[in-house]
């Protein structure tokens, strides 16, 4: 993977680390936009659980960057991008923002950030076109030779 694409993915990892820290230790910052009322232990736990998703994304992105084949990296990065665009941004705009009474400016900002992050990931996937190493040939047993 070329260095500029790695830098973008490292920035993405840092972005997710910051979200994890905020959601774990100071979720009120994010929760205010959702107009949900008092920050109860249950609400705090829900934000903490969402932080766990970001931990998973950090791990998956890190593993993807280390994959040898560009095609394998692209699959993971595209799935991640579609999660941001089709699940997070689209769901907020199509339903959740209005259903929970979120202010339009907060909704546009939140969904917009998710959409832009998804687009950036799609660009990374599109540009990650290094030549893939040749697939291993199978021996007479139908298995890859032991090295």
Inside any domain, residue 85: yes
Q: Residues 6 or more apart from 82 whose CB is under 8 A from it? A: 118
Q: Is residue 15 part of a domain?
A: yes
Tokens standing for 138? 């199978």
pLDDT at 29 over 80: yes
The domain tally of the chain equals: 1
Exposure pattern of 78-87 as b/e (b: 16+ CB <10 Å)?
Answer: bebbebbbee
Evaluate whether residue 88 is within a structural domain. Answer: yes
Q: Please report, rounded to a whole number, the percentage of residues in the chain having pLDDT higher than 90.
A: 58
User: Based on the number of CB atoms within 10 Å of its own CB, is 144 exposed (0-12), middle (13-18) or buried (19 or more)?
Assistant: exposed
Q: How far is CA 45 from the centre of its chain?
A: 20
Query: Global pTM?
Result: 0.79
Burial of 97 (0-12, 13-18, 19+ CB in 10 A): buried
Cα radius of gyration (the chain)? 19
The reply to whether 82 falls in a domain is yes
Residue 12 covered by a domain = yes
- Which domain covers residue 51, as residue numbers? 3-127
| 146 is a domain residue | no
H helices of 1-147, where? Answer: 3-25, 28-31, 41-66, 70-82, 90-91, 97-99, 104-127
Q: Is residue 135 part of a domain?
A: no
Mean pLDDT of 4-20: 96
Would you state the pLDDT for residue 37? 74
Pair 27, 40: CB distance under 8 Å? no
pLDDT higher for 38 or 147? Answer: 38
Note whether 111 and 97 are within 8 A (CB). yes
In a domain, residue 132? The reply is: no
The residue ranking higher by pLDDT, 100 or 132, is: 100
């Amino acid at each position: 993977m070329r260095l500029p694409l790695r830098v973008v993915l490292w920035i993405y990892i840092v972005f997710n680390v910051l979200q994890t820290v905020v959601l774990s230790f100071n979720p009120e910052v994010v929760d205010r936009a959702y107009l949900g009322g008092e920050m109860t232990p249950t609400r705090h736990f829900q934000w903490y659980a969402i932080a766990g998703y970001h931990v998973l994304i950090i791990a998956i992105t890190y593993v993807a960057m280390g994959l040898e084949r560009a095609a394998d990296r692209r699959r993971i990065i595209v799935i991640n991008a579609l999660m941001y665009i089709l699940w997070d941004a689209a769901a907020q705009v199509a339903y959740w923002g209005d259903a929970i009474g979120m202010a339009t400016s907060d909704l546009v900002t939140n969904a917009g950030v998710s959409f832009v992050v998804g687009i950036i990931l799609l660009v990374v996937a599109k540009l990650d076109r290094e030549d893939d190493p040749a697939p291993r040939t199978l021996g007479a047993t139908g298995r890859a030779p032991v090295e």
